[in-house]
Amino acid sequence: MHRLTLIPLAYLAMAGTPGLAQTMTGPRVEATIGYDRLSSHDNFEDLPDTLNGARLGGAVGYDFPLGSRLTLGVEGGAAWTVGAGKTTALAGDRLHQDLGRDLDVALRLGLLLSPRTLGYVKAGYANSRFDIRYDVKVAGGFESERLSADRGGLRLGLGVERNLGGRLFAKAEYRLTRYGNDGPYMEDVTRNQLLIGFGTRF
C-alpha cells in the first residue's frame, strides 16, 4: 500500500521541477544590446585611445546536455556598434576612426545553478571590422584614403542565463576580446562588452 502511494508522489515531484533538457538545451535564437568599448595604444598623443558605443546584435546557437547539470553549446553571432566614431584633426588633415560589424563563433560551457538559472563561460573567435579613414587636405576640400581592416582575435566571456517561463529566456554577459596590433593607428587592441539579451528556444 505504501509503495503504491510513493510512486505517484515521486512522479509529481519530478514533473513539478523544470528539467535541464526542457529549459536550457536545444536550439536558441537571441537579440542582444549593450555597451561596447574598444581600447588601443599608439605612438600618437593626439589620437583617441578608446572608442565607445552601443552594440546591437543577435546570435543563434545549440546547447547539448552533459549529464544532469552541465551543458555544452555552440553559437554564432553578428552585431554592429553605433555611435563610436571619432574624428581627430591632424595639422589640417583628419583621421576618422569607427567600429564596423562584429562577427563571432564560440563554444559555451554551462552549469545549472538552479532549475531555471544557468551560469556559463565561453571562448571563441571574433572577426571585427575597424573603419579608419584619413582625409588629406587639398585645394577645394579633402582626398580620402581608407585604411579599414578586418581583424581576428580571441574572445572570452562569462554570463548568466535565466529561464523566464516556457521557452523564453534573458541573459547578461561580459566579453573580452584581444586583437593584437592593427597598424600604426591601433596597437595592442582590446575590446570589452557588457550585454543583455532576450531570446527563445525551439
Range 25-201 has CATH code 2.40.160.20: yes
Strands (E), 93-116: 93-114
Q: Whole-model pTM?
A: 0.80
Distance CA 168, CA 184 (A): 45
Domain segments of the chain as ranges? 25-201
pLDDT of 26-73, one tens digit each?
A: 999 999 999 999 987 665 566 667 889 999 999 999 999 999 899 999
Please state, in angstroms and rounded to a whole number, the distance separating the CA atoms of residues 168 and 159: 17
119 by Cβ neighbours in 10 Å (0-12 / 13-18 / 19+) ranks as middle
pLDDT in tens, 126-153: 999 888 877 787 777 777 777 778 889 9
Looking at residue 150, its amino acid is D
How far apart (Å, rounded) are the C-alpha atoms in residues 188 and 40? 5
In what helix (H) or strand (E) does residue 51 lie, and over which residues does it extend?
strand 50-66
Task: Report the chain's mean pLDDT, rounded to a whole number.
Answer: 84
